[in-house]
A and B are shown apart, each in its own frame.
Chain A
Amino acid sequence: MIHFVILISRQGKVRLTKWYSPYSQKERTKVIRELSGLILTRAPKLCNFVEWKGYKVVYRRYASLYFCMGIDADDNELEILEIIHHFVEILDRYFGSVCELDLIFNFHKAYYILDEILIAGELQESSKKTVARLIAAQDSLVETAQEQANSISNMIAQATK
Chain B
Amino acid sequence: MDRNLDPSIVAERMQEPNIFRKDELEVVGQRTPKNKHLPDAFGLRAPPPAPRPWRGGSSSSSSTAPSLVDSLFQRSLDDLIKSLRSQPASAEPVLLSRALAEIRREIRSPDPDTKAVALQKLTYLSSIHGLDASWAAFHALELLPSPSPLHKRLAYLAASLSFHPSTTDVLPLSTHQLRKDLSPSSPPPFSSLALHLLSLSASPDLARHLASDLIPLLSPRASSTITNTKNNNNNSSPLRPKAAAAALRALSLCPDAVPLLFKPLVDCLSSPVPRIVSTAVGAFAELVSTTDPAPYLPLAPEFYRLLTDSRNNWVLIKLLKIFARLAPLEPRLAARLVDPLCDLLRRSSAQSLVFECVRTIFSGFPDHDHALRLAVDKVKEFLANDDDPNLRYLGLRALTMIGPRNSWAVEESRDSVIRSLADPDPDPNIRREALRLIMGMVFDTNVVEISVMLVNYAMKSDPVFANEILDAVLTTCGRNVYELIVDFDWYVSLLGEMVRNPHCAKGEEIERQLVDIGLRVRDARPELVRVARDLLIDPALLGNPLLCRILSAAAWVSGEYVEFSRNRLELVEALLQPRTSLLPPLVRAVYIQAVFKVLAFCFNSYIDQPEASQVSSLGNSTTGLGLTIECNAAAANCLSDDITGMESADGIASLLSSIEKKDPFFTCEYLSHILYLIETAVGPLSENADVEVQERARNVLGLIHMLKEIPVWKTEEEGFKKDKDNRIGKIMNLMRALFSEELGPVSVNAQKRVPVPEGLVLKENLADLAMILTEGDIAPSMSISFSLRSHQHMEIKDEAMPSVQSTSLLAEHRKRHGLYYLSAEKDDTESNDFPHALDPLLPGSHSDATEDLVKLTEQSLIPRKVKPTKPRPIVLKLDEGDGVSTSTSTTVKESKDDLLSGAIHDVLLGNEGKPSSSQKRSSNKSSGRRVKEVSDNSESVSQSKENLDLGDRENRSSRRSKHRSHDKERHRSSQNNEEKEEKSHRNSTRSSHHHERQKHRQRGEAPLNVVPQAPVIQDLLL
Report A's interface with B, CB cutoff 8 A: 1, 13-20, 22-25, 28-29, 32, 43, 45-51, 72, 74, 76-79, 81-82, 95-97, 99, 101-102, 104-109, 111-112, 115-116, 119-127, 130, 134, 137-143, 145-146, 149-150, 153-154, 156-157, 160-161
Contacts and interface: CB of A to CB of B under 8 A. Distances in A.
20 contacts: A77-B390, A78-B352, A78-B355, A82-B352, A104-B85, A108-B153, A119-B246, A120-B199, A120-B200, A120-B248, A120-B286, A123-B314, A124-B278, A130-B275, A138-B189, A141-B149, A143-B41, A145-B148, A146-B150, A160-B7
Contact of B130 (A25, A96, A107): A25
Interface of B: 4, 7, 10-11, 14, 28, 31-34, 36-37, 41-45, 48-51, 54, 78, 81, 85, 120, 123-124, 126-134, 148-150, 153-154, 157, 160-161, 164-167, 187, 189, 195-196, 199-201, 234, 238, 241-242, 245-246, 248-249, 275, 278-279, 282-283, 286, 289, 312, 314, 317, 321, 351-352, 355-356, 359, 389-390, 392-394, 425, 427-430
B289 A96 contact: no
Contact of B153 (A97, A120, A138): A138
Nearest to B276: A124
Given A74-B321, A120-B199, A126-B278, 4 more contacts: A43-B425, A119-B241, A125-B238, A141-B149
Nearest to B290: A1
Given A126-B278, A141-B149, A78 B351 contact: yes
Nearest to B41: A139
Contacts of A48: 389-390
A39 to B, nearest CB: 12
Nearest to B78: A105
Contact of B37 (A19, A96, A122, A127): A96
Given A47-B429, A107-B127, A141-B187, A149 B148 contact: yes
A17 B50 CA distance: 31
A79 B14 CA distance: 52
Given A14-B129, A20-B200, A77-B390, A50 B352 contact: no
Given A97-B34, A119-B195, A122-B283, A47 B427 contact: yes
Given A49-B429, A126-B278, A134-B238, A77 B286 contact: no
A141 B390 contact: no
Contacts of A17: 127-128
Nearest to A138: B189
B45 A105 contact: yes
Of B31, B246, B279, B425, the most chain A CB neighbours within 10 A belong to B279
A37 B720 CA distance: 72
Nearest to B356: A76
Contact of B54 (A20, A47, A81, A153): A153
Contacts of A145: 148-150
A102 B32 contact: yes
Contacts of A160: 4, 7
Nearest to B396: A47
A106 B242 contact: no
Nearest to B195: A119
B153 A123 contact: no
A88 B32 CA distance: 18
Given A119-B245, A124-B242, A22 B166 contact: yes
A92 B644 CA distance: 96
Of A46, A47, A49, the most chain B CB neighbours within 10 A belong to A47
Contact of A122 (B148, B153, B286): B286
Nearest to A139: B41
Contacts of B393: 47, 49
B11 A22 contact: no
Contact of A141 (B51, B189, B283): B189
Contacts of A51: 429
B999 to A, nearest CB: 29
B224 to A, nearest CB: 17
A16 B127 contact: yes
Given A16-B127, A17-B128, A107-B124, A161 B283 contact: no
Contacts of B289: 72, 74
B210 to A, nearest CB: 14
Contacts of B10: 157
Of B4, B42, B132, the most chain A CB neighbours within 10 A belong to B42
B173 to A, nearest CB: 18
A105 B40 CA distance: 11
Nearest to B278: A126
A123 B278 CA distance: 8
Contacts of A29: 130
Given A20-B200, A95-B34, A125-B241, A142 B153 contact: yes
A107 B429 contact: no
Contacts of B131: 25
Of A29, A140, A141, A146, the most chain B CB neighbours within 10 A belong to A146
A75 B161 CA distance: 24
B291 to A, nearest CB: 13
Nearest to A107: B124
A49 B150 CA distance: 38
Nearest to A80: B352
A46 B392 CA distance: 10
A1 B429 contact: no
Contacts of A115: 160, 196
B166 A78 contact: no
A107 B317 CA distance: 31
Of A1, A72, A81, A123, the most chain B CB neighbours within 10 A belong to A123
Contacts of A109: 44
Contacts of B356: 76, 79
Contact of A119 (B189, B242, B389): B242
A19 B134 CA distance: 15
Nearest to B34: A96
A139 B45 CA distance: 13
Of B7, B127, B161, B392, the most chain A CB neighbours within 10 A belong to B127
Task: Please give me the 8 A-B residue pairs with the lowest Cβ-Cβ distance, nearest first.
Answer: A78-B352, A47-B389, A120-B199, A122-B282, A46-B427, A160-B7, A119-B245, A120-B245
A63 to B, nearest CB: 13
B42 A139 contact: yes
Contacts of B279: 119, 122, 124
Given A123-B314, A137-B189, A138-B189, A146 B45 contact: no
A5 B56 CA distance: 37
Given A77-B390, A119-B242, A141-B189, A108 B34 contact: no
A130 B234 contact: yes
Nearest to A126: B314
Given A49-B393, A119-B245, A122-B283, A106 B352 contact: no
Contacts of A77: 355, 390, 394
A119 B120 CA distance: 21
A150 B14 CA distance: 14
A86 to B, nearest CB: 10
A24 B390 contact: no
Nearest to A75: B321
A78 B390 contact: yes
B827 to A, nearest CB: 28
B196 A119 contact: yes
Contacts of B389: 45-48
Of B49, B124, B129, B149, the most chain A CB neighbours within 10 A belong to B149
A95 B128 contact: no
B404 to A, nearest CB: 18
A120 B249 contact: yes
A49 B241 contact: no
A2 to B, nearest CB: 11
B429 A46 contact: yes
A153 B54 CA distance: 9
Contacts of B33: 99, 101
A101 to B, nearest CB: 6
B132 A106 contact: no
Nearest to A16: B127
Of B10, B234, B312, B429, the most chain A CB neighbours within 10 A belong to B429
